[in-house]
Chains A and B, each alone.
Chain A
């Protein structure tokens, strides 16, 4: 499907919220799953926790490869974003939601500067050294790839960095 058509549609459903709700209901429960695990106990109080983020907003460094917008099943790959990144180095590639707001201020979907402020005032322990940018909107083979490989690879990054809490955000 042409990218202009995807962008046009995303402009509409970003504004008309009930379309998202209908869409979620229509597409639910029809593909591979990762079982819902029991809750892991908090490892630290927030004031000592190292916090990481994973976002489906299509976020990546401008000098990393963009997400593939030509595959109608999406792109299950991920990009590692350094915790100390200058937000000016970030960009968004995602045709399936209207990202003009986070193009102006990435904190709308990826509140990295807000996290840093909470660390500074002692409400959080630390910002994780590595975060992860992905895109949602995955179907078919790409969704299967996420379920079979990519989700666990991403989890491994946070485990190796001894992250205490992961905040997952949509686009």
Chain B
């Protein structure tokens, strides 16, 4: 997705790109990168777990303001099930 994000950002539209593979971000950074160590296929969380999905989504969108240099990355701290996901 890094390549598509670069093309979108090049048109002046801000992007946030989520990935679960650190080496992928390092090899081909998108303009703004969010790393989360969840499995492929469950990047935002478990099926039916809306609070977890919302938490990861909110944190990802927040990268719009948090990353100030192109190619920058934020690493989300969530540890899959070993976490209490609550809605703010």
Contact = CB atoms under 8 A, between A and B. Distances in A.
Interface of A: 13-15, 17, 20-22, 24-25, 27-29, 33-43, 46, 51, 54-57, 97-102, 104-105, 107-109, 111, 113-115, 117-118, 123-124, 134, 136, 146-147, 150-152, 154-156, 158-159, 163-171
Nearest to B22: A21
Nearest to A13: B40
B21 A20 contact: yes
A118 B58 contact: yes
Contacts of B70: 36-39
Given A165-B61, A165-B64, A167-B60, A24 B6 contact: no
B86 interface: no
Contacts, number: 210
Interface size grouping (class) on chain B: 35 or more
B79 to A, nearest CB: 13
Contact of A154 (B7, B28, B43): B7
B3 interface: yes
Contacts of B73: none
A171 B24 CA distance: 13
Given A24-B21, A108-B42, A146-B3, A155 B11 contact: yes
A102 B45 CA distance: 10
B76 interface: no
B18 to A, nearest CB: 5
A29 B39 CA distance: 24
Nearest to A171: B40
Contact of B1 (A20, A150, A170): A170
Contact of B43 (A124, A156, A169): A169
B14 interface: yes
B47 A154 contact: no
Contacts of B74: none
Contacts of B16: 165-168
A42 B48 CA distance: 31
Contacts of A114: 44, 50, 53-54, 57
23 contacts: A14-B39, A17-B39, A40-B14, A42-B65, A46-B64, A98-B41, A100-B41, A102-B42, A109-B41, A109-B44, A111-B57, A114-B54, A134-B4, A136-B1, A146-B4, A154-B4, A158-B8, A164-B13, A165-B13, A167-B18, A170-B19, A170-B20, A170-B43
